[in-house]
Structure 1
Amino acid sequence: MTELSLNEHHYETTYKSFCLTSVFQPIFSIAHRKAVGYEGLLRANDIDGRAVSPVEIMSQPTSQREHLELDRTCRFLHASNFSHQPDNNAWLFLNLNSQCLVAERPDAGFMHELMQQTKLPARRIVIEILESEIDDREYLLELIQHFRRLGCLIAIDDFGAGHSNFDRIWNLQPDIVKIDRSLVKKAGQSMKVERILTGIVSLIHEAGSLVVIEGVESEKEALVAISSNADMIQGFYFATPESDLQQDVDFGEAMDQLLQQHQNVRSQYNRKLQQHFRAFQLVFEKEVSAFKHGRAFEACGSELFDDERAVRCYLLDESGYQIGRSLYSNKYTAKLDIRFSPLLSGDNANWSHRHYHFRAIQNPDTTQISRPYLSVAGSHMCITVSQAVEVNGKMFVFCCDLDWPDEDLAID
C-alpha cells in the first residue's frame, strides 16, 4: 500500500513531485433530503504549493502499470481520508481506471487489503466504472462480479455520453447508474431533451438500477432532475467538493424549496393546459351533442376547425377501432408532412391503448383531455379532447386533436 502522511486531519501522499490529497462531493437523495454518499476526488499541488489539475496528474504515468499504481494510490488515499472522518453510514464512491485494469488484469487482492487497512466495510463502497472504456464484455462482467463478491455496490458512470446504451445496463445490472452532465445540461435548455431524460430514467429504473444525475449546476437543472424522477443528485449547485464531509449542508431546506417550486410549475402547467382547452370545450361539446342527436360525423368538423389549434377529428367505437377516415382541418392539410403518409390514414386502426379512449369509455358523457403526447399520425405534439356518447344503443368516442407547440410544454 502507498505510504500516507497525516497533515492536520487529512491524509496526504507524494507522487513524483506532487502532493496528493482527497476532497469529497456529496451525493444527495432527493426523497431523504440528505447526503447519502460522497464521491472521492483527487486534488494536487506542486512543490511550490500551486494547485495542479487532476487531468495533469493522470497524464503523468508512462505505462499501464504506472496508471494502475496511481489509480490504486488514489483509491487508498480517498478511502483512508473517508474512513478517518465521523461515521455517518454514507457511501464512498470510488472511481476505477477501467483501461488499466483491462490492460494489466491485476490480482483481486488490492480492494480486500484496502478495506482491511482503512476498516471501511464493503457495503459502504460504491465502485464507479466507465463501462464504455472496456470492450471486453466478459472481463468487465468478471470485474463486476469480483466487487460484488466483496460486498461492494457497482455504479456505471457517465451514462448518456459517448457510446452508452441500454444493452450494457441490462447485461451488467449495476446497482446505480450516474447520468452524464451533458444530458441534464441539454435538458435544462430543451423540453424535448427533458422528456428524453425522463424516459431514460424510467428505463433505468425498469432495469433495476437507481439513478444519480450528476453535474447539476443551476436551479433549472435541479428542477429537471427532480422532474425526471431521479433518485439522487450531485453537483456544484448544491455543494462543491471539500476535504471534510459536508454533513452540515442544509440540503433539506434547499430541496424543500425546489420541491415547492416544482409543484408550482406543475400547477402552472395544469392551468395552462386547461386554458388551452377551455375556450375549445364549448364548441367541442356542441359538436358531440349534434353527433349524439343524429348529425353525421363527417359534418361535425367545420366549427371545430375554425379554431386554428384543431388539426384532426376521428371517431372510435367502444373497442377502440376507428370508424372511417380522419377529418383534417384545411390549414393542417396544407402543411402535412407527406413523409409520414403511411401513418396518416386511420382506417381500421385501433386506439384502445390510448388514454383518451379508455378514460372516455370509463366516464361517458364527460369530456376528457389528455396530456401532451407525440401523435403517430404526423409526428407532432398534440393533446386529444374526447368524449364517449351512446348513439342508437352503441357507444362511440368522439376525438379531436389539438396542436400543442413543443416550446409551450412545461415539466412532466
Structure 2
Amino acid sequence: MSYAVLDDYIRRLPRAPGKGSRLWLNAKGQAEAKYFNCTLTSVFQPLRRLSDGAVAGHEAFVRSAADGEPALSVWKILELAANDDESVELDRLCRMLHAVNFFRQPESGEGDLFLSVHDRLLAAVGSNHGMAFRRILGSLGLPVDRIVLQLPAPAPSGKWLLNHVAGNYLLNGFRIAVNVTDINQAMEVLEDARPALLKLDVRAIADERQLMALLSACRVHGVRLVLRRIDSQPLADLARSLQAAGPDLLLQGLACDRPAAGLAPAWREKPGAAAPPPCPASHVDSASDTSIFS
C-alpha cells in the first residue's frame, strides 16, 4: 500500500542531518533523527499468529548511536531527560520516526504498528493524550487505526491514570495494548482499560488452566492475547504446546524474530508457497539469529 503524502514527504527529506528538518534519510533509505548527541533510527520485531506464523504487526524499537557506536537506549535517555517537556518531545520524535520507517515499506501491508508508551509520559501530558500524534499522522496521510499504543503494566495506585490515558487514546482513534505482569492483572485490565490486546510475558505462565481461562475471557471481551519474550527454545516449545488455544494467540520474541530495520513479509516463503508450520522446532537461544518460523 502506498501513501502519496508520505511518499512526497520522504522525497523532500534531506540526505544528511541539517537544520531544516527533524528527520533525514541515510544511505539505505531509512529515516533517522537526532536527539542531543545521539542518532536515532527504527527496528521492528514481528508479532506472529500461533496458528500459522503469519505476521499480524510489528513492534517498533529505537536504536541509538553516537559517533557510529551504540549509545544509551532511548528509554535511558528518556529517564535522563531534564524535564517532562523534553521527554514528551523525545517520545513524539520517536513515534514520527517509527511511523515514517514503517509505512514507507511495502511489507507494512495491512499490518499494525505497535508503539510503546513510557510510564513517565502517562502523567507528563495533562490531557487529550494522542492528539498531537494523531495530527502528525494526519499531516502525513497515515491511518490512525493501524497504530497500537502499548501502555505499561499499571501499578496498584496507577489504575485511574492508566484508564484515563487509555480513554484519551481511544477517543483519538488509536487502539490500545497493555503490558501485564501476570494473569491476575490481565483479568483486571480486561475489565477496566478496554484494550484491543494484552501482552503477557510468557515466563509468567505457571498454570495452563489459568491461561485458557484468560483466553476465554479475552474472547468474551474481543481482546487478542500476545505472548511476548519468547526468547529461548524452551519458551518456543511452550508456545508450540498451546495449539489448542486457537487462532487468536499472537507470539513475539527473539526465538521467533530478531528486530531488524526491514519488515518481515507476511510469509517467509516465496509468494504462492504454503504457510509455515506454527513454531517449528529449532535449536535457538536468546543470542541466536535463528527463527522458529524459518
TM-score interval, normalised by the smaller of the two chains: 0.7 to 0.9
Instruction: Give 1:141's match in structure 2, choosing from 148, 156, 163.
Output: 163
**Alpha-carbon separation, structure 2, partners of 1:27 and 1:139:** 27
8 Å CA contact 2:154–2:162 kept in 1: the answer is no
Secondary structure of the residue aligned to 2:68 is coil
* SS of residue matched to 2:276: helix
Q: What CA distance in whole angstroms lies between the structure 2 residues aligned with 1:256 and 1:238?
A: 8
Q: How does 1:1-400 map to 2 (within 5 A)?
A: 3-8=22-27, 9-46=29-66, 48-54=67-73, 55-86=75-106, 87-108=108-129, 109-133=131-155, 135-160=157-182, 164-183=185-204, 187=205, 193-228=207-242, 229=245, 231-247=249-265, 250=268, 252-255=275-278, 257=280
Q: Relative contact order: is structure 1 or structure 2 higher (C-alpha 8 Å, sep ≥ 6)?
A: 2
Higher normalized strand content (fraction of residues): 1
1:102–1:134 contact (8 Å) kept in structure 2? no
Letter of the structure 1 residue corresponding to residue 48 of structure 2: F
Residue 222 of structure 1, CA deviation: 2.6
* Aligned pairs, number: 249
Structure ID, larger Rg: 1
Contact 1:134/1:140 (CA < 8 Å) preserved in 2? no
Partner of 1:236: helix, strand, or coil? coil
> Alpha carbon RMSD of aligned pairs, Å?
2.8
C-alpha spacing 1:99/1:59, structure 2 compared with 1 (3 Å)? closer
Aligned residue identity for 1:250:
R
Identify which range, 87-96 or 166-175, moves more after superposition. Answer: 166-175
Specify every segment of 5 or more residues in structure 1 that has no aligned partner in the other structure, as ranges.
259-412
Shift of 1:72: 1.4
Give the Cα–Cα distance (whole angstroms) in 2 for the partners of residues 175 and 182 of structure 1: 22
| Residue identity in the other structure for 1:197 | L
Instruction: Please report how far the alpha carbon of residue 139 of structure 1 lies from its aligned counterpart in structure 2 after TM superposition.
Output: 4.3
In 2: Cα distance, 1:56 partner to 1:100 partner: 14
State the identity as a percent. Answer: 25
Q: Deviations over 1:33-82 (max 9, x none)?
A: 31110001010001x21112424333331222222211111111111111
What do residues 144-179 of structure 1 show as CA deviations (whole Å, max 9, x unaligned)?
233223332111124429x93522321112110010
Are the aligned partners of 2:117 and 2:149 in contact in 1 as well (CA < 8 Å)?
yes
- Counterpart Cα distance in 2 of 1:203 and 1:79: 32
Mapped contact 1:194–1:224 kept (Cα < 8 A): no
Q: How far did 1:247 drift? A: 1.1
> Residue 62 and residue 256 in structure 1: after superposition, are their counterparts in 2 closer, same or farther (change >3 A)?
closer
Match of 2:290 in 1: none
Deviation at 1:204, TM superposition (A): 3.3
- Cα distance in 1 between the residues matched to 2:23 and 2:156: 31
SS of equivalent to 2:48? strand
Select between 134-143 and 4-13 the one with higher mean Cα deviation. 134-143
CA deviation digits over 1:11-47, x for unaligned, max 9?
111111100110000001123531110001010001x
Structure 1's 248 and 181: CA in aligned 2 closer, same or farther, altered over 3 A?
A: same
Q: Is the 8 A contact 1:29 1:232 kept in 2?
A: yes
In 2, are the aligned partners of 1:159 and 1:180 still within 8 Å (CA)?
A: yes
* SS of equivalent to 2:154: helix
Question: Letter of the aligned partner of 1:58 in structure 2?
Answer: L
2-structure distance, mates of 1:17, 1:172: 37
Amino acid at match of 2:100: S
For structure 2, which runs of at least 5 residues remain unmatched after alignment?
Answer: 1-20, 270-274, 282-294
Q: Classify 1:130/1:77 alpha carbon distance in 2 versus 1 (closer, same or farther; 3 Å).
A: same
Q: Distance in 2 between matches of 1:15 and 1:166?
A: 39
- TM-score, L = length of structure 2: 0.74
Q: Offset at 1:112?
A: 1.7
Residue 163 of structure 2 aligns to which amino acid in structure 1? L
Check the 8 A contact 1:22/1:40 in 2, yes or no. yes
Q: Deviations over 1:310-348 (max 9, x none)?
A: xxxxxxxxxxxxxxxxxxxxxxxxxxxxxxxxxxxxxxx
Q: Following the alignment from structure 1 to structure 2, what is the Cα–Cα distance between the partners of residues 238 and 11?
A: 26
